[in-house]
Amino acid sequence: MKLLGKIIRKIDTLIHVFQSKCRVFFLRLKYPGINLKNVTIEKNCSIIKENEAFLEIKNSFIKIGTTIHASGNSKISINGAFIGNYNMIVAHKEIIIDEGCEIAEFCVIRDQDHDLKNIKKRTSNPIQIKKEVWIGNKVTITKGVIIGDNTVIGANSVVTKSFESNLLIAGVPAIKIKNL
Q: Which residues are designated catalytic?
A: 114
Beta bridge partners of 49: 70
Sign of CA dihedral 40, 130, 123, 53: negative
Q: Which residues contact 148 (CB under 8 A, 6 or more apart)?
A: 130, 133, 162, 163, 164, 165, 166, 167
Q: Which residues contact 71 (CB under 8 A, 6 or more apart)?
A: 48, 50, 53, 90, 91, 92
